[in-house]
Amino acid sequence: MIEWLWLLLPIAAATGWLSAWHQERQRSKNTFWSPDYLKGLNYLLNEEPDKAIDIFIKLIEVDSDTVETHLALGVLFRRRGEVNRAIRIHQNLIARPALHPHQRSNAMFELAEDYRCAGLLDRAEQLFQELVASSTHQVLALHQLLEIYQQEQDWEKAINTAQQLTNASSEARHVDIAQYYCEQAEYYRKQGQNNAALNTIQYALKIDSNCVRASLLEGQLALVRHDQEGAILAFQRIEQQNPDYLTEVIEPLQICYQTLGRQNEFVLYLLHILKHYGGIRPMLVLTEIVKQEEGEQQAVDFIVKEMHKRPSLQGLDHLLDMALFNVDNITRNHLLLLKDLMTQFLKNKPAYKCRHCGFTARKLHWQCPSCKQWSTLKPIQGIDSE
Ligand SMILES: [Zn+2]
């Protein structure tokens, strides 16, 4: 019932305009209600609002005074999910030859939005491209085109459109464009085209020298061709680009240094990272190395000292693991209970958080699944970090 009443709102509005229109016509031509108008009223009385709306929309003449009302009605229908009806209204508007160019652009933009909502991306793209040439809708149309190309994962077109947007609006887009290049590079890598991937990564770094993802990809590609030196250079570049992401390269760097037989250099690097940026991952890796090289007690001493400086649940969990081996049975049972609780607690804890919308995730996404921003998810720092 409420739904039906809501539908009456536009009908009531339409009836009001019609009434005014007819009064005007009646005054000038001395005519009475047209058969179509009565038909529309009849549909309304018979609780067939869809048919009534169609008739009333046809009846309201499109002129400079009613164009905005038609546009508003179309948007209203689209937001209600009645996209086909919105399309009809906007197509009807565009078909009017007397429309002012600005009104035509408005109607074209809304029609393109209708098509996008209906999943008719080709038609939406064509209209938005026409609007890019207009003076009034250029930036809006480029934004919408960019959304479409990202949705279609057409990164070549996304790059071109983002560059056009930069020129048209002075919006800084270099971070996003670098990510589009990285998406292309990922695609080439999956296809086994590693040289093409490497070239694309260089474009990403050229447009955004702080693109962490490009350095990660470059390092991974270097590892594929067994170039550990090259991989180390790429991975360690992240320290200058954004040290928040250093946790991502600790393990691959360990593999590189181990393969090259330069474990001592790796230890020095970890100590450097720990001193300047903290982080749980380097501390845990160092603890393991101390354990292997100097024994259990030295490792416990090291982690306890570090935990005083930077308390963390992951560190505590690791400490529990080591403590379990050196206690009597009763204490061991108590510690096992604590360990179980800790494992449960840490199991579902997110490791990354979007600084734009607060979305959290277990794995790193370069585009936030929630707010769709690029490069906004970062490793969580602090006591409950990974
Ligand atoms: Zn987000």
* 350 CA to centre of ligand 1 in angstroms: 14
Q: Nearest 5 degrees, angle CA 109-CA 110-CA 113?
A: 90
Residue 379 Cα to ligand 1 midpoint, Å, equals: 13
Interval between CA 137 and ligand 1 midpoint (Å): 27
* Distance between Cα 368 and ligand 1 center (Å): 5
Taking only the tens place, the pLDDT of each residue in 290-301 is 888 988 888 888
Ligand 1 centre distance from Cα of residue 377 (Å): 7
Give the pLDDT band (50/70/90) at residue 5. very low
- Distance separating alpha carbons of residues 197 and 194, to the nearest angstrom: 5
Gap from CA of 364 to ligand 1 centroid (Å): 12
pLDDT for the residue 228 = 97
Summarised one tens digit per residue, pLDDT across range 196-212 is: 999 999 999 999 999 99
Average pLDDT over residues 180-201: 97
Q: How far, in Å, from the CA of 375 to the mean position of ligand 1?
A: 9
Quote the ligand 1 centre to 291 CA distance (angstroms).
39
pLDDT category, 253, cuts 50, 70, 90?
very high
> What's the Cα-to-Cα distance from 352 to each of 136, 272, 345, 380, rounded to whole Å?
40, 23, 16, 5
Read off the pLDDT of each residue in 173-186 and give the average, rounded to a whole number: 97
Alpha-carbon span 337 to 380, nearest angstrom: 27
The string of pLDDT tens digits covering residues 58-111 is 666 656 667 887 888 888 889 888 899 899 889 988 888 878 888 889 999 999
Does residue 8 surpass a pLDDT of 60?
no
Q: How far apart are CA 361 and CA 350, in angstroms?
A: 5
Domains and CATH numbers, the chain: 2-169 (1.25.40.10), 173-184+197-277 (1.25.40.10), 278-348 (no CATH), 350-386 (no CATH)
Instruction: Compute the distance from residue 365 Cα to the ligand 1 centre, in Å.
Output: 10
| Interval between CA 374 and ligand 1 midpoint (Å) | 8
Upper half-sphere CA count for residue 61 (Cβ side, 13 Å) = 11
Alpha-carbon distance values, 169 to 30, 142, 162, 165, 309 (Å)? 54, 10, 10, 6, 47
Residue 220's pLDDT band (boundaries 50, 70, 90)?
A: very high
Mean pLDDT of 247-271: 95
d(CA 45, CA 59): 18
Q: Give the Å distance between the CA of 103 and the centre of ligand 1.
A: 35
Task: Write the pLDDT tens digit of every residue in 352-366.
Answer: 999 999 999 999 999
How far, in Å, is the centroid of ligand 1 from the Cα of 376?
A: 6
Q: List the beta bridge partners of residue 311.
A: none
For residue 90, how far is its CA from the centre of ligand 1 (angstroms)? 33
Q: Is residue 328 exposed (0-12), middle (13-18) or buried (19+ Cβ within 10 Å)?
A: exposed
CA-closest candidate to residue 151, choices 126, 116, 186:
116
Count CA within 13 A, CB hemisphere, residue 314: 21
Q: Please, what is the average pLDDT of the chain?
A: 85
Distance (Å) from CA 50 to ligand 1 centroid:
39
Better-predicted residue by pLDDT, 58 or 173: 173
Ligand 1 centre and the CA of 239: distance in Å? 24
Of 50, 61, 52, the C-alpha closest to 20 is 61
- Report CA(358)–ligand 1 centroid distance (Å): 6
Q: From the CA of 126, how far away is ligand 1's center (Å)?
A: 30
Select the more confidently predicted residue: 375 or 71: 375
The reported pLDDT for the residue numbered 56 is: 67
**Interval between CA 352 and ligand 1 midpoint (Å):** 11
